[in-house]
């Protein structure tokens, strides 16, 4: 792979690029055949099985938790909602390895604190940040802390499922 393709394989860079590509009025791949080629070369694997995978939905908004859990249930994913970062962290010992959908702004402890606690405990599960506050500084901080993706609320089902496919592939690679 080219050095540019290696850059797009970096989870932090590719997540920020995907986020701003989705929200930009300019189609970056149409503007640059180089970007289009690099993205094709660095594409994520197409065949990822989501069935029987664990997804932990950590969000203080009950409607968001219910909506995501319902949507994931229709794809045969096993979701478990948590109303706070504290609830999630207190349950870690009983949880199977999985992917975490994590809100940033929550009472008690925020998503950044949850990510820091996961790192302290040596838990390397893929984290996708979900937020209604899509500021660049929040995205950069989340990526630097190890989030593998950053999606803004509200999001389309395909965006969420695509993020989870990549997260499960990463989880399998980490073994």
What secondary structure does DSSP assign to 146-163, as a single string?
Answer: T-SEEEESS--HHHHHHH
Contacts of 137-140 spanning 24+ positions with Cβ under 8 A: 138/104, 139/15, 139/16, 139/19, 140/16
Mean pLDDT of 104-121: 94
The pTM of this model reads 0.71
- The pLDDT of residue 45 is 36
Mean model confidence pLDDT for the chain: 79
pLDDT at 35 over 60: no
More confident call, 72 vs 20: 72
Is residue 7 over pLDDT 70?
A: no
Q: Higher pLDDT residue, 124 or 32?
A: 124
């Amino acid at each position: 792979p080219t050095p540019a393709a290696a850059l797009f394989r970096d989870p932090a860079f590719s997540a920020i690029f995907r986020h701003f590509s989705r929200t930009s009025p300019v189609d970056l791949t149409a503007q640059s055949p180089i970007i289009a080629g690099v993205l094709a070369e660095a594409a994520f694997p197409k065949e990822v099985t989501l069935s029987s995978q664990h997804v932990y939905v950590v969000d203080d908004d009950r409607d968001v938790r219910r909506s995501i859990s319902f949507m994931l249930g229709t794809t045969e994913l096993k979701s478990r909602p948590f109303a706070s970062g504290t609830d999630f962290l207190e349950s870690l010992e009983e949880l199977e390895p999985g992917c975490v959908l994590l809100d940033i702004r929550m009472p008690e402890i925020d998503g950044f604190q949850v990510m820091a606690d996961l790192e302290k405990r040596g838990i390397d599960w893929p984290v996708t940040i979900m937020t209604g506050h899509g500021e660049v500084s929040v995205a950069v901080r989340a990526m630097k802390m190890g989030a593998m993706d950053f999606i803004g609320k509200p999001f389309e089902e395909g965006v969420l499922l695509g993020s989870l496919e990549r997260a499960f592939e990463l989880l399998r690679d980490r073994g």
